[in-house]
Amino acid sequence: MGGRQGRGSAWRGGTGRQGRAPRGGEGRGGRGGLCGAGAAGGAPNLGGAAGQEAGSAAAQLGDMAGVKALVALSFSGAIGLTFLMLGCALEDYGVYWPLFVLIFYVISPIPHFIAKRATDDSDAASSACRELAYFFTTGIVVSAFGLPIILARVAVIKWGACGLVLAGNAVIFLTILGFFLVFGRGDDFSWEQW
Amino acid sequence: MKIFLALEDTFQVKMAGFLDNFRWPECECIDWSERRNAVASVVAGILFFTGWWIMIDAAVVYPKPEQLNHAFHTCGVFSTLAFFMINAVSNAQVRGDSYESGCLGRTGARVWLFIGFMLMFGSLIASMWILFGAYVTQNTDVYPGLAVFFQNALIFFSTLIYKFGRTEELWT
């Protein structure tokens, strides 16, 4: 475990030092200062301190990538909800039954979290609990698509509203999937976010 | 004799298929062997819930009991029960390989699986009977019968994919 951490910080330190140059200009000044402060440390600590400073710089870069992903995902989430609200609120449509798909949006991540909590994710590539969670999550997604279609079939909502709600569904579920792909990895493997 | 053998060689070379050297384009970004269980679970989920929503659709569009007798929902319910019974026991338990025997043991697991498959096949056959007996031969609108049949057929295929499409080696 200690060896693993040592390798990780050395890796981060190396890339932090090399990666600073190609990154944006606004980062260079700040991290140049950090590097200068690191280099000003005592000779025996030089490697370790520089490694730690570069490591935190690398973590900052990782956070920047995380913040950008967060902004992009929240934008797409807003677009999806806009589609849903258009499907309800346009003058041609005017009925708010499609808002029931919000229930499906909210409960769709729950099986995944239950499975994650129930089985400690050790070395196994998969587990029966996780696959059952995928099964139910898929079911919730299918249901979120099925409900507007059925509402349109019995003319509770118009087909145009149904189309808008389906588009909103697609965008929202892609957003949720994006959340899990970007932020779902455990903290142990944060270097994978590069 | 030698000429005959030489001819035979040439003949076999020419008869090799022209797709012999064709390979799918290699996609190394995803390791499909590790993802097999996840893909099977997702496909099974899509089929299962599509089946149920087809039935819900029929029940909503044909609300009168004369068009869709409410007893026909029984097939779907028993199919669903069979799905969960079949997938509750792992193949390792049936073989007797797994360490934790559960409360059933090997023979109990086999009996459970047997009953599960009997329910599944029975529901499938019942849905076919309903389609032909109550709809196709009666000169009425056949869509509710088709919905019952497709619900049970999709749940059946979903069970097969969920049971046999996943490999238990990924659990170790």
Four-CA torsion B47, B51, B57, B63, nearest 10 degrees: -170
ipTM: 0.81
Does an H or E element contain B38, and which? helix B32-61
Interfacial B residues in 26-55 facing A (CB < 8 Å): 34, 37-38, 40-42, 44-46, 48-50, 53
- Is the Cβ of B74 closer than 8 Å to some Cβ of chain A? no
CA–CA–CA angle B43, B146, B118 (5° rounding): 65
For the CA atoms of chain A, what is the radius of gyration? Answer: 23
Nearest CA of chain B to the CA of A9: how many Å? 26
Is B34 close to A126, i.e. CB distance below 8 A? yes
The nearest CA of chain B is from the CA of A193 a distance in Å of 15
| CB pair distance less than 8 Å for A150 and B60 | yes
**Does residue B170 belong to the interface with chain A, where contact is any CB pair within 8 Å?**
yes
Domain boundaries of chain B, sorted by first residue: 36-164
Q: Do A135 and B41 touch (CB under 8 A)?
A: yes
* Residue from B154, B167, B168 nearest B120 by CA: B154
> Would you call A126 and B45 a contact, using CB atoms and an 8 Å cutoff?
no
Q: What is the pLDDT of residues A68-81, one digit of tens each?
A: 999 999 999 999 99
Q: Token pair for residue A79?
A: 């677009």
Contact A131 B38 (CB under 8 A): yes
Is residue B13 within 8 Å of residue A104, measured between CB atoms?
Answer: no
pTM here? 0.74
For B10-49, what is each residue's pLDDT tens digit? 665 566 788 888 777 766 666 777 788 999 999 999 999 9
Per-residue confidence in pLDDT tens, chain B, 172 aa: 677 676 666 665 566 788 888 777 766 666 777 788 999 999 999 999 999 999 999 999 999 999 999 999 999 999 999 999 999 988 888 887 777 667 778 888 999 999 999 999 999 999 999 999 999 998 889 999 999 999 999 999 999 999 999 888 877 7
Is the minimum CB–CB distance between A181 and chain B shorter than 8 Å?
no
